[in-house]
Amino acid sequence: MTTEDDKGGRTATVSRWLPFSCVDGPGNRLVLFLQGCNFRCPGCHNPHTIGLCDHCGDCVPGCPSGALTPIDGSVRWQASLCTHCDRCLDACPRSASPKTHQMSVAEVLALLRRYGPLLTGITVSGGEATTQLPFVVALFAAIKAAPDLTHLSCLLDSNGSLGETGWQRLLPVLDGAMIDLKGWRESVHHSLTGQGRERVLASLQLLARAGKLAELRLLQVPGRSDFLDVGGELDAGLAAFLQTLGPVPIRLNGFRHHGVRGEAMGWQEAAMEELDRLSNALKVKGFGPVSLPPL
């Protein structure tokens, strides 16, 4: 059995963490956003979490508060000087951030203990959390092994790109995963994520079979998404696929400009009426429960 001691030293590159979130799974959750993503979605709301810093230093001159300094070939970020104006993120050529930090499993456990009574669980998100899979497995295993933390549920928020071997390592300590499906047909999925859909579909089926698909999330982008056919009904292929998953909660996310950079700033935002149409099309076929964005 894994103990805190032998895995407590494993670390992750963390973009940020929040002790309170009510939008990353049921109840109040501590959320860890891990840095780095293997998808390249043009409509990403957190593009600065995609890349990993290579310490090129391009961000340093633009920092107005002197929070970034080049030291021995790497960029050092001083949180106490930072005003979070985010000019460093704009300057970064690789969609990374100098404002990440390393956190060990032991440090995350200490946070969970500090906020313990106020938490329902933890959600590890990103970036793409499974790009740092050994950390996630070690963290969840340590939580499950600690008698004072076992009441916390361990959820993963993922793009579904993890392969079967990876899932098999994670499943024993995972309570549930929330997976994005950003397009249905291969070409659409590719244009909205930069990757094919095959692994995502396989992950959804694997998780559903294991009873650990906590939520399927569909991203609706006006004029680009293909969940509905020309007649406004649920795409027949998608319907057949959803049938194979069995009953799964579905959350609809509409594309918004918040945080987005580049070409997707020219895309249209999804109106609530459009999400209502998709929601109804899903419900008519018996899928769901379907939830809409809170705002």
Which residues contribute to the site for another protein (CB under 8 A)? Answer: 18-20, 22-23, 26-29, 114-120, 291, 294-295
Smallest distance, another protein to C-beta of residue 196, A: 32
Name which of 223 and 294 has its Cβ closer to another protein.
Answer: 294
Kindly write down the DSSP assignment for every residue of the chain, as one continuous string.
---HHHHTT-EEEEEEEEEEESSSSSS-EEEEEES--S---TT-S-GGGSS------TTTTT-TTS-EEEETTEEEE-TTT-----HHHHH-TTS--S--EEEEHHHHHHHHHHHGGG-SEEEEEES-GGGGHHHHHHHHHHHHH-TTTTTSEEEEEE-S---HHHHHHHGGG-SEEEEEE--SSHHHHHHHHSS-SHHHHHHHHHHHHTT-EEEEEEEE-TTT--SB-TTSSBPHHHHHHHHHH-S--EEEEE---TT--GGGGGSPPPPHHHHHHHHHHHHHTT---EE----
Residue closer to another protein, measured from CB, 25 or 160: 25
CB of 282 to another protein, least distance (A): 17
Q: How far is the CB of 249 from another protein (least distance, A)?
A: 12
Of 27 and 66, CB closest to another protein:
27
User: In the bound complex, what is the minimum distance in angstroms from residue 207's beta carbon to another protein?
Assistant: 22
Of 119 and 141, nearer to another protein (C-beta) is: 119
Least CB distance to another protein at residue 291 (A): 7
Q: Which is nearer to another protein, 80 or 165 (CB)?
A: 80
Query: How far apart are CB 45 and another protein at their closest, in Å?
Result: 15
Question: Which residue number, 118 or 236, has a Cβ lying nearer to another protein?
Answer: 118
